[in-house]
């Protein structure tokens, strides 16, 4: 699980998107205008190669509070769809 204290700092997002993975689930967080855009999608492909219909996305304010909301949302997506992520991790 991700922890806000160890997640990428705000300044990083001003320059580029951040990607990562957790046991079958990939995620991407970027700054889009004045908001964070958070996206989760299944392995095995990277963001650009994954079909849009396989991506789940949302946005949060580009603030410290919003950064915490991003972390919580990614963790919730992992927990609520664990069977899907586990299946993808086994392939």
pLDDT tens digits along 29-87: 999 999 999 999 999 999 999 999 999 999 999 999 999 999 999 999 999 999 989 88
Residue 91 has pLDDT above 70, yes or no: no
CA torsion angle for 45, 71, 75, 41 (degrees, to 10)? -20
| Global model pTM greater than 0.95 | no
The structural domain count of the chain equals: 1
- Quote the domain boundaries for residue 65: 4-90
pLDDT (tens digit, 9 = 90+) per residue, 9-25?
999 999 999 999 999 99
Q: How far is the first Cα of the chain from the last one, in angstroms, to the nearest whole number?
A: 21
Strand runs labelled E in the chain: 18-22, 25-32, 35-42, 56-61
């Amino acid at each position: 699980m991700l922890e806000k204290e160890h997640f990428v700092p705000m300044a990083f997002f001003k320059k580029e998107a951040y990607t990562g993975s957790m046991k079958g689930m990939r995620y991407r967080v970027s700054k889009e205008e004045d908001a964070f855009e958070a996206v989760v999608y299944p392995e095995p492909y990277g963001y650009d190669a994954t079909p849009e219909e396989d991506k789940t996305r949302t946005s949060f304010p580009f603030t410290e509070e919003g950064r915490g909301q991003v972390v919580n949302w990614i963790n919730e997506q992992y927990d609520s769809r664990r069977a899907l992520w586990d299946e993808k991790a086994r392939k």
